[in-house]
Chains A and B, each alone.
Chain A
Amino acid sequence: MLEAILLTIITAATPLVIAAVGELVTERAGVLNLGVEGMMIMGAVCAFAGSYLTGSPLLGVLCGIIGGALFSLLFGFLTLTLVTNQVATGLALTILGLGLSGQIGESFVGIPGVKLQPIVFPVLSDIPFVGPLLFKQDITFYLSIALIIGVNWFLFKSRTGLKMRAIGDNHGSAHALGINVIRTRYLAVMFGGACAGLAGAQLSLVYTPQWVENMSAGRGWIALALVVFASWRPWRVFAGGYIFGAVGILQLHAQAFGIGVPSQFLSMLPYAVTIVVLIIISHNRRTTLINTPASLGKPFVPDR
Chain B
Amino acid sequence: MRIELEKRASASSLFQIVSPLLALVLTLLFGALMFWMLGKNPGHALYAFFIEPLLEVWSLHELAIKAAPLILIAVGLSVCYRSNNWNIGAEGQFTIGAIVGSILPVLVPQWHSPLVLPLMLIMGAIGGALFAAIPALLRTRFNTNEILVSLMLVYIAQLFLDWLVRGPWRDPKGFNFPQTISFAKEAVLPELLESGRAHWAIVFAIIAAVGIWFMMRYMLKGFEVTVLGRSERAGRFAGFSSRRMVWFSMMLSGAFAGLAGISEVSGSINHLQPSISPGYGFTAIIVAFLGRLNPLGIIVSGFILALTYLGGEAAQLSIGVSDKVTRVFQGLLLFFVLSCDTLILYRIRIVLSSDRAAVEGRS
Contact = CB atoms under 8 A, between A and B. Distances in A.
A213 to B, nearest CB: 8
A214 B289 CA distance: 24
A82 B148 CA distance: 25
B5 A278 contact: no
Using C-beta atoms within 8 Å of the partner chain, give the interface range for chain B: 35 or more
A282 interface: yes
Interface in A269-304: 271-272, 274-275, 278-279, 282-283, 285, 288, 301, 304
Nearest to A281: B144
Interface in B73-119: 81, 86, 88
* Majority DSSP secondary structure for residues of B touching A: helix
A224 B149 CA distance: 11
B152 A275 contact: yes
Given A95-B282, A262-B163, A275 B149 contact: yes
A160 interface: no
Nearest to A100: B328
B325 interface: yes
A279 B327 CA distance: 33
Interface stretch (B46-54, B207-215, B263-271, B330-338): B330-338
Interface residues of A, number: 44
Interface of A: 34, 74, 78, 81-85, 87-89, 91-92, 95-100, 102-103, 106, 218, 221, 224-225, 228, 262, 264-265, 267-268, 271-272, 274-275, 278-279, 282-283, 285, 288, 301, 304
A100 B322 CA distance: 12
Given A100-B328, A221-B151, A282-B145, A271 B156 contact: yes
A85 B163 contact: no
B152 A99 contact: no
A106 to B, nearest CB: 5
A221 B338 contact: no
Contacts of B160: 264, 268
Interface in B110-158: 138, 141-145, 147-149, 151-153, 155-156
A95 B162 contact: no
Contacts of A92: 286, 331, 334-335, 338
A99 B156 contact: no
Contact of B289 (A88, A224, A278, A301): A88
Interface stretch (B193-201, B235-243, B339-347): B339-347
Contact of A272 (B156, B285, B332): B156
Given A82-B348, A99-B328, A224-B148, 18 more contacts: A34-B147, A78-B335, A78-B338, A82-B3, A84-B341, A84-B342, A89-B338, A92-B335, A96-B331, A96-B334, A100-B331, A221-B148, A274-B152, A278-B144, A279-B144, A282-B144, A304-B359, A304-B363
B324 A102 contact: yes
Nearest to A89: B338
B64 to A, nearest CB: 24
B179 interface: no
Interface string B259-289: 0000000000000000000000010011001
Q: Which 5 A-B pairs have the closest CB atoms?
A: A99-B327, A96-B331, A264-B163, A102-B324, A92-B334
Given A275-B152, A278-B149, A99 B342 contact: no
B4 interface: yes
Given A81-B3, A264-B160, A275-B149, A98 B327 contact: yes
Interface in B304-363: 322, 324-332, 334-335, 338-339, 341-342, 346, 348, 359, 363
A272 to B, nearest CB: 6
A85 B335 contact: no
A83 to B, nearest CB: 6
Contact of A268 (B155, B286, B322): B155
B330 A99 contact: yes
B167 interface: yes
13 contacts: A74-B335, A84-B341, A87-B147, A88-B81, A95-B282, A95-B330, A99-B326, A106-B322, A225-B148, A271-B155, A274-B152, A278-B144, A304-B4
Contacts of B185: none
Given A278-B144, A283-B142, A96 B328 contact: yes
B337 to A, nearest CB: 8
B324 A103 contact: yes
B144 A268 contact: no
Contact of A279 (B138, B159, B163): B138
B138 A106 contact: no
Nearest to A213: B324
Contacts of B3: 81-82
B7 interface: yes
Nearest to B283: A95
A161 to B, nearest CB: 25
B324 A218 contact: no
Contact of A265 (B159, B327, B328, B329): B159
Given A83-B346, A95-B334, A285-B143, A103 B289 contact: no
A253 to B, nearest CB: 18
Given A221-B148, A228-B145, A264-B162, A82 B5 contact: yes
A99 B278 CA distance: 13
Contact of A301 (B7, B86, B285, B335): B7
Contacts of B152: 218, 221, 225, 271-272, 274-275
Nearest to A289: B143
A284 B208 CA distance: 38
B339 A84 contact: yes
Given A262-B163, A275-B152, A83 B330 contact: no
